[in-house]
A and B are shown apart, each in its own frame.
Chain A
Amino acid sequence: MVRDDRVRSPFSAVDRRDLRDALALAAAIAVVGASFGALAAAAGVPPVLIVAMSLLVFAGGSQFLVVAVVTAGGSVVAAIAAALLLNMRHLPFGLAVGDTVARSWPGRVVGAHLLIDESVAFARARPSGPRAHAAYWLCGTLLFTAWNVGTVAGMLAGAAVPDPASFGVDAAFPAGLLALLLPSLRHRDARRVGLAAAMLALLAATVLPPGLPVLVGLLGLLVAGRPPARPAEPEARPGAPGASPAGTDDGSPPDGAPPGPTPPPGPGR
């Protein structure tokens, strides 16, 4: 079997600790998937559509939303519009992790389907490069599998599925995301932006429909301020010939390492 370095499996760089962390998220998402399957079945959605939705949409929040709106007698068009609004954040996420997911088209076409909040946060919590790339694919595939297995199990078990709130799963996801975010929040500008984003999103949630408040959080960028001074910043030497910020070979800017101490490793290390 011919194995070219360029088509190496993304899993070849999987770290055992990353696997353990991703499995923890997968266990939690399986529970939520089961509750989705049970809820959708109780709402009278045909089994084949429930399974297809989890396979083809793979975005929990929007799946719950669609089923809730349709069950409540809302229009299907309104349900889809609301669900797509909720999924709008995936676009800026893709922009942020594009190079981590894949640099080739086949990789991007497949990797796009695995793009969810958790896989994005999971990859961003790792040092950029092979480790983050492997972490994205590991987290994405495990969560995709867990979500779909959970959906089918919940659909079959029906009313026997307990409320995920009794397991506290609704607290596990924000806490997990927060843990994944902590390394990036050690930078002063990210903390400032994050705080503003949280406050704006919470305020917006009192008046705007689901999905928009999180997007309003992007306005937190208004307080990003100037980039922290970097010793090797090409822009800092305007007179230097050929010193263009876009001049890196691989298209990626020199990793956004802040001045001062190296960012500490993510949680769990």
Chain B
Amino acid sequence: MTWSALLILAAGTYLLRLAGLALRGRLRLPARVDRYVDLGATALLVALVATATLLDGDAFAGWARPAGVLVGGLAAWRRAPFVVVVVLAAGTAAGLRALGVE
């Protein structure tokens, strides 16, 4: 790892972030396109949740993590406070691992 590698990564990441925001300022999106942009963000976030819940790279993440997410998700669905959702999810996964369930 070198400074030049780090700076290239930092600049690239920053420009990806800024590009979206800048485009948004330049474009006047018709409502129809705006709906797709919004649904696109939902699609990306759900895809992120699904892969982060079930996978480590391309392999199954084990049972403890999805079980934790499931418990947290159910709590969220029952309108539990956000903090409770996060703590329940972490607690379930940690508890299962302490019991030897991976």
Contacts and interface: CB of A to CB of B under 8 A. Distances in A.
Interface of A: 20-21, 24-25, 28, 45-46, 49, 52-53, 56-59, 62, 66-67, 70, 76, 79-80, 83-84, 87-99, 101-103, 105, 108-109, 111-113, 115, 117, 120-121, 124, 165-182, 184-185, 189-190, 193-202, 205-207, 210, 213-218, 220-221, 224, 227, 233, 235, 245-246, 251, 253-254, 256, 264, 266-269
Given A90-B16, A267-B81, A98 B24 contact: yes
Main secondary structure of the interface of A (DSSP, over half): helix
Contacts of A167: 90, 94
A176 B85 contact: yes
Nearest to B50: A198
B42 A206 contact: no
B49 A178 contact: yes
B47 A200 contact: yes
Contact of B46 (A66, A96, A109, A217): A217
Interface string B9-47: 110111011111111110011111011111111111111
Given A84-B12, A95-B37, A221-B43, 8 more contacts: A80-B12, A84-B9, A108-B25, A174-B48, A175-B73, A181-B45, A267-B79, A268-B83
Contact of B41 (A99, A124, A216): A124
Given A171-B65, A218-B43, A108 B18 contact: yes
Nearest to A63: B9
Contacts of B46: 181, 185, 193-195, 197-198, 217, 220
B23 A251 contact: no
Nearest to A169: B90
Interface residues of B, number: 82
B19 to A, nearest CB: 5
Interface of B: 1-3, 5-10, 12-14, 16-25, 28-32, 34-55, 57-58, 61, 64-69, 71-73, 75-77, 79-83, 85-95, 97-98
Nearest to B85: A179
B58 to A, nearest CB: 5
Contacts of A124: 41
Nearest to B19: A91
Contacts of B76: 175, 178-179, 182, 267
